[in-house]
């Protein structure tokens, strides 16, 4: 081969990137050609310097900053809905229930003339809700809750109206201290706590009527927190636990100990904080973040907030086993795995 053919191959030859036959050809040529050998030496020296310079300047392996990692792991929209969808759904329901509860004493107690209390001081959304309640009390059987598509009047009539009346009658016959007996279950309570602590949710509900229920959850929550002695009819039972964020110290309370008593009482934030606190220093930041996400997923499953818990548990256990192989000495991985397996055996 000529020098013009060989020379463009020299870098690849020195990097051992040529196929064996060409490698051999170049080697043979260099043995006989001083010019190409000199060129080859020049390239070899340059490659050597490049190697040293690039290696030297690399230093310690760089990693993404913690906040950027967190951004990565929270980047998938589906993850947001996966973790918050149930909360939002419950919040929407609560906003309706609370909305009804807050307004009913005002609206349902007739004044002297037998007419429903004036709604002039209400905003358009509330006024609309009040009209709905009026309709529900009377003969007109309009579904009150519009979370689902409105059924046809014929199909909707008897049962819906009956259920609505039941709620309304219950509200109307509330004790005279004005405290409304709404079904504030533990689940709803937890959700309200989550709402208080969840800034993303606050942002979502910051626009009035965002949830299209007449009352935003935030508004309802404000009503819960509001102490208005002049308007005893709008008060709800005093619920300090609604306004108290889960103490950080509670994170230390191991959920594993609780798990035998009632897995469904697990609190996502507490559990995630617990896991975060327990993860050893040797665990890298990416895995630490993933463990937190897994803890939240597991908590969701345990709170029966997954559509297909067995599938979700299966996926989680698979990933945890993989992590366990990589981090055999990490107790949190072991604990999460045990808890997930325990949950899998629950009915």
Partner 1 sequence: MIRTKTTRTRQEKNQPETFESAMQAYESSLLRYATRILGDTNTAQDIVQDTFIKLFKAWNNGQHPKVNLKGWLYRVTHNQAVDHIRRESRLRVLHEEQAETLEADPSPPSPSGTLSRKDTLATVLTYVQELAEMEQMVVLLRLQEGMSYKDIGNVIGRTEGSVGSTLHYAVKKLAGKLKQAGIVEGGSA
Binding stretches for partner 1 (CB under 8 A): 8-12, 15-19, 22, 34-35, 37-39, 41-43, 45-47, 49-54, 56-58, 61-65, 68, 71-73, 75-76, 78-79, 284, 286-287, 290, 319, 322-323, 326
**Nearest in space to 250 (alpha carbons), one of 268, 237, 264, 236:** 268
Separation between Cα atoms, residue 4 and residue 17, nearest integer Å = 19
Taking the complex as a whole, the smallest distance from the CB of residue 64 to partner 1 amounts, in Å, to 6
CB 290 within 8 A of CB 73: yes
Rounded least distance, CB 310 to partner 1, Å: 19
CA–CA dist 330, 281 (Å, integer): 10
Burial class (CB in 10 A: 0-12, 13-18, 19+), 154: exposed
CB of 286 to partner 1, least distance (A): 5
- Cβ atoms of 135 and 142 within 8 Å: the answer is yes
Give the nearest distance from C-beta 42 to partner 1 in angstroms: 5
CA–CA distance, 297 with 46 (Å, rounded to integer): 53
If the CB atoms of residues 26 and 299 are measured against partner 1, the closer one turns out to be 26
With respect to partner 1, which residue has the nearer C-beta, 127 or 319? 319
Q: How far is the CB of 65 from partner 1 (least distance, A)?
A: 6
Q: C-beta of 346: minimal distance to partner 1 in Å?
A: 26
Residue 184 makes CB contacts below 8 A (sequence gap 6+) with 237, 239
| Cβ nearer to partner 1, comparing 15 with 245 | 15
Considering the complex, state which of residue 14 and residue 116 has its C-beta at the smaller distance from partner 1. Answer: 14
Query: How many other CB atoms are there within 10 angstroms of residue 129's CB atom?
Result: 22
Instruction: With beta carbons less than 8 A apart as the criterion, state whether 250 and 290 touch.
Output: no
């Amino acid at each position: 081969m000529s020098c013009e053919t060989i020379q463009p191959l020299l870098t690849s030859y020195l990097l051992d990137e040529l196929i064996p036959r060409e490698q051999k050809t170049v080697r043979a040529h260099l043995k006989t050609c001083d010019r190409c050998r000199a060129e080859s030496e020049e390239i070899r020296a340059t490659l050597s310097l490049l190697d040293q310079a690039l290696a030297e300047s690399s230093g310690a392996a760089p990693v993404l900053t913690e906040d950027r990692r967190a951004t990565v792991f929270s980047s998938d929209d589906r993850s947001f809905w996966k973790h918050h969808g149930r909360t939002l759904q419950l919040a929407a329901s609560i906003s309706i229930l609370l909305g009804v509860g807050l307004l009913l004493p005002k609206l349902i107690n007739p004044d002297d003339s037998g007419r429903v209390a004036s709604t002039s001081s209400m905003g358009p959304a509330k006024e609309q809700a009040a009209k709905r309640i009026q309709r529900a009390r009377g003969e007109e059987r309009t579904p009150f809750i519009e979370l689902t598509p409105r059924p046809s009047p014929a199909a909707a009539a008897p049962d819906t109206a009956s259920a609505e009346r039941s709620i309304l009658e219950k509200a109307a016959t509330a004790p005279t201290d004005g405290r409304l007996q709404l079904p504030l279950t533990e689940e709803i309570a937890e959700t309200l706590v989550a709402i208080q602590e969840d800034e993303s949710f606050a942002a979502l509900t910051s626009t009035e009527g965002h949830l299209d229920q007449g009352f935003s959850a935030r508004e309802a929550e404000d009503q819960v927190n509001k102490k208005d002695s002049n308007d005893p009819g709008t008060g709800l039972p005093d619920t300090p636990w609604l306004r108290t964020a889960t103490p950080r110290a509670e994170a230390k309370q191991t959920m594993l100990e609780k798990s035998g008593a009632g897995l469904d009482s697990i609190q996502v934030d507490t559990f995630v904080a617990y896991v975060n606190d327990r993860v050893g220093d040797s665990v890298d930041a990416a895995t630490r973040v993933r463990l937190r996400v897994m803890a939240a997923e597991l908590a969701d499953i345990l709170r029966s907030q997954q559509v297909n818990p067995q599938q979700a548990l299966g996926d989680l256990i698979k990933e945890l086993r993989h992590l366990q192989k990589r981090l055999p000495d990490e107790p949190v991985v072991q604990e999460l795995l045990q808890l997930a397996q325990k949950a899998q055996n629950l009915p």
